[in-house]
Amino acid sequence: MAFNWKTFWTRAFTALIFVAVMMAGLLYNEWSFLLLITLIHFGCWWEYLKLIEKIFGVSFHVYIKLGFCLTGYHLLLLCCGLLQLSGYALSSSFSLPFLLAGLVLLVTGMFKQRLHLKALGAAALGLFYISLSWALLLLLRYTTDINIMKDAAQAARSGFFIPVLLIAAIWINDTCAYLVGSMIGRTPFSKISPKKTVEGTIGGMLLCVAAITLILQFWFQWQVLLAISLIAAVAGTAGDLLESKLKRMAGVKDSGSIMPGHGGFMDRFDSLLVTIPFVWLFFAVLSWFLGNIQLHHGTPVALFTIPGSGY
């Protein structure tokens, strides 16, 4: 596949703006993070529902679309940790109203049009595919029980860095896979995504793991870096293929057009949507494993700290 400089520079310029917005939301404070994820959540939902409409040849009533979005958003609010607005916790005081509003809109919308059960069921899967994924990322961001830092005194900042590391790993994998595939890619990786090559996929995975683990091991536990980068490389590739399959079924090239050269929200975050649950599961299993060590052997092992890391 010949290297396309025009496409590269278009993607690069858009990516710079995109990265600036993402970094501002990720790094400023807890509220900016929530606002960023909120925007992405609703953007992904709107594009996902458009894909489902095209796949099944139906048109959802706007109440149904809003109902799914709000119902899903209540999952995000449940995972906001200790965030409060005017003294009221988001998780306990605001999540239920969003759930009720979403359900009311869903039911109302269903009475306003003839139902297509398969399309409605496929749309409902977005609660897991989209809303649950972003909710789990919020859960990781606002957690206080994880230590991934090499310096134990910085353990409290772990929740801040986990989303940054995860998104960085996804970006490195995607970018390196694109560059390697453009330069030396010859063998098609999958019929679902014709432009993806075996050489690019493998190259992206190797460079992602190497970059994240080798460069950042001075600040973070290398075992955690290795796990995050491996999960991001493998699950991220699967997420990209899943969205490519949905687009092929819908007969569209991109899920949206908000970002020239990159498509829409789903195009930009397809890898992350599948990766987040596996990263969360990694930490959950690790927590259970270390908890059992402490419970049965009396060993004072800190949650999410790898045995042998020195912390």
In-domain check, residue 83: no
Q: How far is CA 44 from CA 22, 77, 128, 243, in A?
A: 15, 17, 12, 11
Digit-coded pLDDT (tens) for 77-116: 999 878 888 888 888 889 999 999 999 999 999 998 888 8
Q: Which residues pair with 291 in a beta bridge?
A: none
Q: Which long-range contacts (CB under 8 A, 24 or more apart) does 152-156 make?
A: 152/311, 155/302, 155/311
In-domain check, residue 221: yes
In-domain check, residue 50: no
Q: pTM for the complete prediction? A: 0.86
CA distance 179 to 174: 9
The mean-pLDDT minimum among 35-44, 49-58, 166-175, 186-195 falls in: 186-195
In-domain check, residue 63: no
Output the pLDDT for position 74: 95
The total number of structural domains in the chain stands at 1
Cα first-last separation, the chain: 47
Output the pLDDT for position 296: 46
In-domain check, residue 58: no
Residue 203 is part of which domain span? 5-29+146-297
Average of pLDDT values for 160-180? Answer: 89
CA distance 17 to 41: 19
In-domain check, residue 21: yes
In-domain check, residue 75: no
In-domain check, residue 65: no
